[in-house]
Structure 1
Amino acid sequence: MSIYDYDVTSEDGKSYSMEKYRGHPLIIVNTATKCGFAPQFKQLEEIYQKYEGQGLIVLGFPSNQFKQELSSSEEAAQSCRTTYGVSFPMHKINDVNGKKALPLFDYLTEQAPGTLGSAIKWNFTKFIVDKEGNVVKRYAPKTNPLKMVDEIEQVI
């Protein structure tokens, strides 16, 4: 299995294959608009704007498993756009842990377990994926995205 074997659903309900991103470095992050870490959207957007021309894609995956997300995927994405200026792709609200977890997140956490096990502990857990689809590094929710720049530049 690789990251390209998974399908995901965009905020508007359209399913697509992660194969679409083959050859692109990625930042994949589980998000929540009402989370105390939501200001990280600004840093993620800053990184996206700076490195998009070099192929980097940031992918936001809202989750309400920690009870900090709006009621619909469309509302969550709209809030990200109007409040934080997000222009990177956002997705359908999904679970990131447990039996109903989005399979992509099962794969990510298997490839890059956290310090206290593989489960996603909170919103804004971030994963860097290289151009070949390898999960390179996992960052904790509290890590400011701008502290990931050295690792990002290594995969671009």
Structure 2
Amino acid sequence: MSKRVEIATVIALFLSSAAGAAFAASKGFTFDSIDGGTMALEDWQGNPVLVVNTASLCGFTPQYDGLQALHDEFAGRGLVVLAIPSDDFRQELGSAEEVKEFCAVNFDLTIPMTEITHVKGSEAHPFYKWLAAEHGFTPGWNFNKVLLGPDGEVVGTWGSSVKPQSKAIVSKIEPLLN
């Protein structure tokens, strides 16, 4: 093999691995499900995913109604709404079982939920570390929202005060639906 072909091969491998790494960065994350087992973002490849860090005892907790309404309206067209309970802001219940019961009783929630998960700092879940490193986004409070496009790339981020059914969010979701 000539030097030129070897160099071209190495460059092609590097570029394909960099592209593969970018894809893996946005799709290779798994979360422990509140129902047991794991959930992988790659399972929802081809669908938009709205990821929201949540807390049961927060003033923004009524936004669960809006998250469920988004799910009810758009799940049939591909939207996944993923709730990630977190106690990083000291407003979550003591266990995943308590969170699950609270959400079922108070909000009749059927969207996928993770176990209680860190979303900031050195213990943050790898997904949130990736968001901080690659997109400069770290949740500043509960009910921050991140919309991933069907390709796993970040389409938009919103703070706690932006309601799930706001025009700002829905206008970004609708073009991504099947």
Provide TM-score, normalisation by structure 2.
Answer: 0.81
Q: Is the 8 A contact 2:139 2:159 kept in 1?
A: no
Aligned match of 2:154: 135
Q: How far apart are 1:94 and its partner, in Å? A: 0.9
Bigger mean CA offset, 72-81 vs 29-38: 72-81
**3-state SS of the aligned residue for 2:165?**
helix
Aligned match of 1:107: 130
Distance 1:72 1:55, change over 3 A: same
User: Which AA in structure 2 matches 1:130?
Assistant: G
**3-state SS of the aligned residue for 2:138?**
coil
User: Which AA in structure 2 matches 1:132?
Assistant: D
Q: Is the 8 A contact 1:37 1:124 kept in 2?
A: yes
User: Which AA in structure 1 matches 2:155?
Assistant: V
The separation in 1 between residues aligned to 2:40 and 2:172, in whole angstroms, is: 25
1:78-117 residue pairs with structure 2 within 5 A?
78-113=101-136
**2:139 paired residue among 99, 114, 120:** 120
Structure 1 runs of 4+ with >4 Å offset: none
**3-state SS of the aligned residue for 1:152?**
helix
User: Which AA in structure 1 matches 2:53?
Assistant: N
User: Which AA in structure 2 matches 1:136?
Assistant: V
Q: Is the 8 A contact 2:131 2:138 kept in 1?
A: no
Q: How far apart are 1:4 and its partner, in Å? A: 1.1
1:64 and 2:114 matched: no
Provide TM-score, normalisation by structure 1.
Answer: 0.92
Q: Is the 8 A contact 1:112 1:138 kept in 2?
A: no
The separation in 2 between residues aligned to 1:82 and 1:154, in whole angstroms, is: 33
Q: How far apart are 1:120 and its partner, in Å? A: 1.4
1:154 and 2:175 matched: yes
Q: How far apart are 1:65 and its partner, in Å? A: 0.8
User: Which AA in structure 2 matches 1:11?
Assistant: I
Q: How far apart are 1:15 and its partner, in Å? A: 2.4
Indicate the RMSD between aligned Cα atoms, in angstroms.
1.3
**1:31 paired residue among 32, 51, 54:** 54
Aligned pairs, number:
152
Q: Which runs of 5+ in 1 are unaligned?
A: none
